[in-house]
A and B are shown apart, each in its own frame.
Chain A
């Protein structure tokens, strides 16, 4: 009985378990029928797999279908298995025509082999390579291909993201262009601000223009007197030929620009009636594209910067902007240089005038000797020097005898001649290092530098000889006679120059009195 009860209990437990499993199975079936499950767990011998049903990845598919990049699935040999609408639009071909075709025929011909190699070598890790897709026969699109090889038990495929690089390339090119422009402006401005030598500045600016834009140019400056344009600097093989050439007012493209104060872009100069072919004929070179901008200073046009290229339609508005900026800086340099040149010239004239005035202020106009003022200035300086080197100071005070008589009997003209000839004799007698002066009227002074080799008496003899010679020649209606007072003082004497002069004057007077017999 007991055994029967136990068996019954066991059966009930087993039944309950079976019922539970049946319920679970029914629930599972019901869930499947209602579409509430989207994956199953499958156990194969020792491995367990989770298998999602078809359509459960539609979120991903939606993402791929609508994303803003191209998505392509390829078979290992490069056949297109799937592509999203973005890619079809990018390549301007319906996806229906793309699926089943080889991806490599979409690539630019010279890059196709590289793509085939990439397909063969791409692994599970991402490969990102840039190619050009052929959009039409004449245009291609730069793209980046990101490849990923999918390998499962039943499938090998290559998934690829196609990123359009057109915008990035355009931005890169624009940045590069901007960089070149900024470099050009920076270098040119450095040159412009570092020198006042106009030719140097203009030559450097043209060199920078060639370096950054590969174009030749020329600076034409206005001659304000004639209104002509003169080529101040030119680059290129014929630069030297056209330098210093003239254009008449309004002549040629540059002449027009100077007259109207407006920039010009000429795509083909040979078709423009304003083009002055003479210069081209001179150089033997043909430049089709011309870009000319006025050089302005305070609203005035002071010249033209002309830029040339042999290619037709070379210059754009962007080029115009950069050249106009350059022209603005160059105009400042030209004005500064001109200002500097005129300042230099004015300074030179002023210096010359000052020199002249200075000379006049210390020079006796009649004889050309120092006047009293000049003598005092020079002698003071000289005496200080004598004192420093401990040399004897020798001062001669000279009076021209009988000047009044010459004036009264022969006239003031002869009197002036007598004074001039006296000065001449003094110059003949003394050295350049000696300081000669006409103090005023008929009085002269000489500050004599004397060293150990000089002999005072020899100087005096030489002086007398010169006077005698003059009188012997009788070239003038008068004879010259001088009364001389010599003062010899050691360098450390306590007297001022004025005191020395007074002393010498006294000595001269004594000599004069002696001559008269007093």
Chain B
């Protein structure tokens, strides 16, 4: 049984001028309420609100409760953020404090 929480914004700003509205599906793997997990979640929310407002969905998976769920995305370290959509699938490991790295990983900034 999956243990997950899904978050979607209720409203969002207008589409960005340069692209059509692409829906992001993000999955954050955590290990209970560890400090890094909490920090990762807080940072992810902030980034999504700033750059993906109205077009993102966050799924939280607690691997402390259901470790088997790690195999789907081949998770090794926690916390890990997985961008499921848009493809390609990307993984970002850590508490997401390095915003530049996160934006690159989400293809929102060029390297």
Contacts and interface: CB of A to CB of B under 8 A. Distances in A.
B93 A41 contact: no
A34 interface: yes
Nearest to A25: B76
The SS class assigned to the B binding surface is loop
Contact of A41 (B67, B92, B94): B67
Choose among B64, B75, B79, B93 the residue with the greatest number of A CB atoms under 10 Å from its CB: B93
A40 B77 contact: yes
A455 B31 CA distance: 130
Nearest to A36: B94
Choose among A36, A50, A58, A59 the residue with the greatest number of B CB atoms under 10 Å from its CB: A50
A148 to B, nearest CB: 18
Contacts of A24: 91
A222 B37 CA distance: 84
Interface string B62-91: 011001101100011111000000000001
Contact of A39 (B31, B92, B94): B31
Nearest to B37: A38
A34 B98 CA distance: 11
A32 B77 contact: yes
A118 interface: no
The SS class assigned to the A binding surface is mixed
A517 B93 CA distance: 161
Contacts of A272: none
Nearest to A37: B77
Given A31-B77, A48-B71, A57-B34, A37 B94 contact: yes
Contact of A50 (B31, B36, B91, B92): B31
B6 interface: no
A56 B79 CA distance: 12
B34 A38 contact: yes
B67 A38 contact: no
A38 B67 CA distance: 15
Choose among B33, B35, B64, B94 the residue with the greatest number of A CB atoms under 10 Å from its CB: B94
Contacts of B93: 27-28, 31, 36-37
B32 A52 contact: yes
Given A24-B91, A28-B93, A50 B77 contact: no
Given A28-B93, A50-B31, A37 B71 contact: no
Contact of A38 (B70, B76, B78, B97): B78
A59 B33 contact: yes
Given A24-B91, A34-B94, A39 B68 contact: no
A60 to B, nearest CB: 8
B35 A38 contact: yes
A31 B97 CA distance: 11
Nearest to B91: A24
A136 interface: no
Nearest to B80: A37
A462 to B, nearest CB: 125
Interface in A146-181: none
Interface string A7-42: 000000000000000001001100110101111110
Interface of B: 31-37, 63-64, 67-68, 70-71, 75-79, 91-95, 97
Given A24-B91, A50-B63, A50-B78, 16 more contacts: A27-B92, A28-B76, A31-B77, A36-B36, A36-B93, A37-B79, A37-B93, A39-B36, A39-B63, A39-B64, A40-B77, A41-B63, A41-B75, A41-B78, A52-B32, A52-B64
